[in-house]
Amino acid sequence: MNLNKWLAEIRGKVNPESLTDSCSGEGCTVHLVDIPSERVVIDVEKEFDSRRKNEKRCDRLLFYGNTAKNTFVAVPIELKSGKATESDVREKLVNSVRFAATIAPDRKKNGKTVYVPVLVCGRRIEWTNPRDPKNRQEFKAGNRLILIERCGRERNLARALSEAGHL
């Protein structure tokens, strides 16, 4: 796995001002403990603004390599310190997965890139179908599961990615 090359390729495809060291923001804390230190984090709001893209988008986009599974992982992260609306979150994360696919390195010969959308929220989720169980840990956007974690919880991002098998 040529991780450094792929991360450098991603850095070269985005505005340098969009690069950040943190996945936290919008009043929501995301802990990067146990997330691989070789990574790229993009402030997607800044990146879309620099590209003059008007569509809905998530707040952060994390890239890292999982050498044990020979995968390159792209994690669009939507941050909501308060209540999250399922349909709004779904649209933002689907658009962000599409964007991530445009900047991810072509890895057809060397493993695959996996896309793992995550919602980190502070309060409850306003479900589109309120009859479904409220204690869900994930919901779907197309054929992808959106993982759910709470703002500020210790190891919140690592827990979600580990439980889904991506760390």
- List pLDDT tens digits, range 72-115: 999 999 999 888 888 888 889 989 999 999 999 876 666 788 99
pTM listed for this prediction: 0.89
Distances (CA, A) of 147 to 19, 27, 31, 144: 23, 19, 15, 9
Q: Tell me which DSSP letter residue 28 carries.
A: B
| Dist CA 41 CA 57 (whole Å) | 15
Domain assignments of the chain as residue spans, ordered by start: 3-163
Q: What is the pLDDT of residues 4-53, one digit of tens each?
A: 999 999 999 999 999 999 999 989 999 999 999 999 999 999 999 999 99
The predicted pLDDT at position 127 comes to: 65
Asked if residues 45 and 53 have their Cβ atoms less than 8 Å apart, the reply is: no
CA nearest neighbour of 24 among 68, 81, 66, 67: 81
The predicted pLDDT at position 135 comes to: 40
